[in-house]
Amino acid sequence: MTEILTPSHVSLKASLPKRAWQESLKNAIRSGRELCRRLDLAPELCAPEAEDDFPVFVSEEFLSRISPGNPSDPLLRQVLGTSQELSTEGLLDPVDDEAAVRGNGILQKYSGRVLLITTGACAIHCRYCFRRHYPYQSSQLGKTAIQTWLNYIAKDPTIEEVILSGGDPLSVVDETWQEFAAGLNQIPHVQRLRVHTRFPVVIPSRVDSKLLDWLTNLKAAVYLVLHINHAQEMDRSVREMFATLRRAGITLLNQAVLLRGVNDTLQMQADLCRMLINDQVIPYYLHQLDPVRGAMHFQVEDEKARSIIQELRTQLPGYAIPQLVQEVAKQPSKTPL
């Protein structure tokens, strides 16, 4: 049956069909129990207590890349809340973001770059996230936020680069970004826009014509920093999405987090980096885990991290080797290990 009549009191906007990526968000899996059921795993594997302050959230697209029946799957480990998270080891704000807040989600720690916490919403909940305890309520995006950011950026000629972060900035609809992009185009000192996002990988349909519209209309050079931790996250739909972004002239970088039981072997890092460069995605950073409470079981020793990178150099070209870094509070850059 087709419904073609729209009641007059329903606004046109509300009656617009949801875009594919918004449907994917709506249909995402929201509990460890459901995740275990879908993957033929024992329900005892999940710990509902771990989900109290940070719920499970996984798209069907990401789920389809997880092997059923394997409790050690490297993708599963990134998203399933387990009893290991109940440890009280670790910090709530490990990178001291609070100290760098300039109001309205504006963070400025490093010279020439301003980072905007644009939203708390994400396409996926990563159990190791260093912002899992971040007070997002105090930085919600609205029209006023956009204007505040543009004013802040316009007033400081040393800001060459604007970084959209979050949460995931691509949780925000393109109409809002279109407006922001138009504002940025009026500020001559902004040379680069960087978008840090997991959306394209977790829900590849996020890369659609509306997104490409505002990205390609920017005067600034556009860098998209993806976040892929394991080669298994890249299926055919992800690789097609890379090609679409490349054709639009967008430079693709990747950052990963070194995670015990997920990607902490030479083989896994080599597979990840090789697959990335085969698709012209440059491995940018490999982050040592920020010591956030609830994620300490993912920590890898510095010695092991360094030796993986050293070995990697003997296998792959120089541009395939990510910089191994740690974020140290109050430092003027990420700290190489």
253 makes contact with ligand SF4 (CB under 6 A): no
From the CB of 315, what's the least distance to ligand PLP, in Å? 25
- What are the strands, taking DSSP E only, across 231-312? 251-257, 282-287
Q: In what order do the strands lie in the sheet with 335-336?
A: 106-107, 113-117, 161-165, 192-196, 221-227, 251-257, 282-287, 323-326, 335-336
Stretch that binds ligand SF4, among 43-51, 124-132, 137-145, 238-246 (CB under 6 A): 124-132
163 makes contact with ligand PLP (CB under 6 A): yes
Rounded Cα gap, residues 9 and 258, in angstroms: 52
Task: Residue 230: name its binding partner from ligand SF4, ligand PLP, none (Cβ under 5 to 8 Å by kind).
Answer: none
Stretch that binds ligand PLP, among 29-37, 43-51, 71-79, 110-118 (CB under 6 A): 110-118
Residues 281 and 231: beta-carbon distance below 8 Å: no
Rounded Cα gap, residues 132 and 126, in angstroms: 9
144-173 positions binding ligand SF4, by CB under 6 A: 166-168
- What are the strands, taking DSSP E only, across 12-129? 106-107, 113-117
257 makes contact with ligand PLP (CB under 6 A): no
Q: Whose Cβ is closer to ligand PLP: residue 24's or residue 165's?
A: 165
90 makes contact with ligand SF4 (CB under 6 A): no
Report the SS3 class of residue 41. Answer: coil
Task: Residue 122: name its binding partner from ligand PLP, ligand SF4, none (Cβ under 5 to 8 Å by kind).
Answer: ligand SF4
200 makes contact with ligand SF4 (CB under 6 A): no
Tokens of 261: 């039981």
Nearest of 276, 320, 328, 330 to residue 130 by alpha carbon: 328
198 makes contact with ligand SF4 (CB under 6 A): yes
Q: Whose Cβ is closer to ligand PLP: residue 160's or residue 235's?
A: 160
Q: Which residues sit at the interface with ligand PLP, rule CB under 6 A?
A: 100, 107, 109-110, 113, 115, 163, 333-334
